[in-house]
Structure 1
Amino acid sequence: MNDDHVYMTLAEGHEDDTRWAYGTGFEDPLHGVDTTVPEGVDAGALAAVCVALADDALVSAQRLAEWITRAPELEEEVALANTGLDLLGQARLLYTRAGQVDGTGRDEDAYAYLRDAADFRNVRLAELPNGDFAFSVVRLLVLSSWRLAHFQRLAAHPDPVLAAVAAKGVKELTYHRQYAAEWVVRLGDGTEESHRRTRTALERVGPYLGELFTAYDARDEVVGVLRQVTEEAGLPMPVYRPLPGAGRGGEHTEHLAPLLAELQGVARAHPGATW
């Protein structure tokens, strides 16, 4: 087994170790950034992009938090929890930006806690139950590769706030992708059982890839990463079998509502409370 090869290749060009939850990079990524919506930028479209990306991050973070006390090893529990914290930080900034530009003045709590499942715009892959560890790291590989490709483009967005959030997120997502790729290779090239489980995870992810590629044009980047990792792991590429419906349009699986019920329970039981 040699998972260092794929790990280092995916890391090329991203040697900066500054991350929100890892390393020492805790500076405010929006310090000094002008929050005025630039001329020519559609505020409604900007808010919609921010909410969708924030919903992806919030739901993914909630799923990752479910691994706390359940991960195979303490080190992996910490890694998954901190990855979730990175995503939660992205969600907070994106929700705040959406509230600034959509005319509602809503804050991050209103977006996270006071909307029903049909109002969320996350992709459906993010809301699926964790399953086993193999599925969770395969999903993380897919979602982080897809989100990274999109954030790399958004770093040049004309809105300076969204651009700053994306630029900071690129560093975090690069690590998320590396971490997931290392584990997929390790599991795929491991025991017969770990290989079987990882292959099953790729099959389970396949039907949801079409939705990702429809939401943002990142097909080439994501397919390239998946092909590189699966070849190194001795695994087949996932087969695209698009499912009807799309989370971006508010159509979700039956798994999102229970996830939100747990996430929002305290806030809804004590409206207006602060802590």
Structure 2
Amino acid sequence: MAHPTPDPNDDGGSVYDGLLEHHEVAGDDSQWAFGTDFEDPLAGMDTTVPDDVDAAELATYCLLLGDDALVLSQRLAEWSSNAPDLEEDIALSNIALDLLGQARLLLARAAAADPAVVPALPEGSPAPVEDALAFFRDAADFRCTRFVEGPNGDFAQTIARLLLFATVRLAAFERLGDHADPVLAAIAAKGVKELTYHRDFAGRWFLTLAQGTEESRRRLLAGLAQVWPLYPELAEAYDVGPEVDVVLDQVFAVSGVERPEAGRRVGGEHHTEALSRLLAEMQSVARAHPLGVW
């Protein structure tokens, strides 16, 4: 193979020189901090809470939506380089990034609505509010549903969980497009297109696995049975209507899968041990170096 002709104007510098030169400007280390060089996710929006909206309730609800997205995003990111093939690897990674973007917006909205939800940080910490909420809250302070907390299981179990989650969340976001808080309404409207893709991706794979081989069908049914007991908690938290049942019944019917029996919300602790383990890994660097810049 022929080597490219050297550029006579090339001084032999590294492709990273631009980063280093920028970093050497006096007092300019912003791109290395937690995220302080990124634009405020709510920049340009009036974050004043409307008079007819309870700020504390709005913040709590945004934390629920944001924490669900953050935790499931982290779970889906675990498939990176581990999915059945490259296309699904990229698809799951993109879905994880979509949810991470939703989490950032929702956590920022929660903090703007009620600054009291933001944990106290060490003096001088560069973490913006959404990072503070993601990295410096303990598991007990998270508002996510247990539905998103557990390990992925195999690919079929991940598909079953993603189908249920995306169907419920899409229905909720479509409804929230008319919310009295214009910021939450705008966040929901932005997320509808993303969640439609998430639901359709999971639905296609649900059908493929159900009608594939005996092994793929066995794994799908086992995965559905694993995630279904916590589904009522998810549906209750999002307060969705019959439109969700209509969609799921269609997917089950086309796939030839019997809908699991309606169950009650599973009792027990507000969170599972799996959430604590996930947060221990996700938050480790930020907590070890709360004043760190990189």
* Higher-Rg member (1/2): 2
Q: Is 1:144 aligned to 2:166, yes or no?
A: yes
Q: Is 1:203 aligned to 2:253, yes or no?
A: no
Aligned to 2:277: 258
Counterpart selection for 2:61 from 49, 53, 65: 49
Aligned to 1:156: 178
Aligned to 1:166: 188
**Structure-2 separation of matches of 1:216 and 1:84:** 20
- 5 Å-filtered alignment, 1:192-231, equals 192-231=214-253
Report the residue type matching 1:86 in the other structure: D
Aligned to 1:270: 289
Q: What whole-Å deviation, never above 9, does each CA across 1:100-149 have from its counterpart, x for those lacking one?
A: 11133830011100111111111111011100100001100000001111
Contact 2:55 2:113 in 1 (8 A): yes
Shift of 1:216: 2.4
Q: What whole-Å deviation, never above 9, does each CA across 1:191-212 have from its counterpart, x for those lacking one?
A: 0110111111121122112112
Q: Which moved more, 1:59-68 or 1:208-217?
A: 208-217
3-state SS in 1 of match to 2:262? coil
Please give the TM-score of this superposition, normalised by the length of structure 2. 0.80
Aligned to 2:133: 111
**Structure-1 separation of matches of 2:221 and 2:276:** 28
Q: What whole-Å deviation, never above 9, does each CA across 1:165-185 have from its counterpart, x for those lacking one?
A: 000000100000000000000
Report the residue type matching 1:261 in the other structure: A
Aligned to 1:25: none
3-state SS in 2 of match to 1:255? helix
How many residue pairs get aligned? The number is 246
Shift of 1:48: 0.4
Q: Is 1:87 aligned to 2:95, yes or no?
A: no
Please give the TM-score of this superposition, normalised by the length of structure 1. 0.85
Report the residue type matching 1:156 in the other structure: D
**Structure-1 separation of matches of 2:169 and 2:289:** 34
**Structure-2 separation of matches of 1:72 and 1:103:** 43
Q: What's the RMSD between the two structures over aligned residues?
A: 1.9
User: Which portions of structure 1, spanning 4 or more consecutive aligned residues, are displaced by more than 4 angstroms?
Assistant: 28-32
Shift of 1:30: 5.2
Contact 1:151 1:166 in 2 (8 A): yes
Report the residue type matching 2:57 in the other structure: A
Shift of 1:243: 4.3
Q: Is 1:128 aligned to 2:170, yes or no?
A: no
Report the residue type matching 1:165 in the other structure: I
Change (3 A) 1:54 1:75: same
Q: Which moved more, 1:50-59 or 1:102-111?
A: 102-111
**Structure-2 separation of matches of 1:52 and 1:197:** 30
Question: What residue ranges of structure 1 are gaps of 5+ in the alignment?
Answer: 1-27
Aligned to 1:10: none
Report the residue type matching 2:96 in the other structure: G
Report the residue type matching 1:231 in the other structure: A
Contact 2:41 2:105 in 1 (8 A): no
Report the residue type matching 1:161 in the other structure: V
Q: Which moved more, 1:96-105 or 1:222-231?
A: 96-105
Contact 1:157 1:163 in 2 (8 A): yes
**Structure-2 separation of matches of 1:236 and 1:105:** 42
Report the residue type matching 2:219 in the other structure: R
Q: Is 1:73 aligned to 2:85, yes or no?
A: yes
3-state SS in 1 of match to 2:45? coil
- 5 Å-filtered alignment, 1:30-41, equals 32-41=44-53
Contact 1:68 1:77 in 2 (8 A): yes
Shift of 1:225: 1.6
Contact 2:233 2:266 in 1 (8 A): no
Q: What whole-Å deviation, never above 9, does each CA across 1:230-251 have from its counterpart, x for those lacking one?
A: 11111111223334347xxx71
Counterpart selection for 2:207 from 175, 185, 208: 185
Aligned to 1:13: none
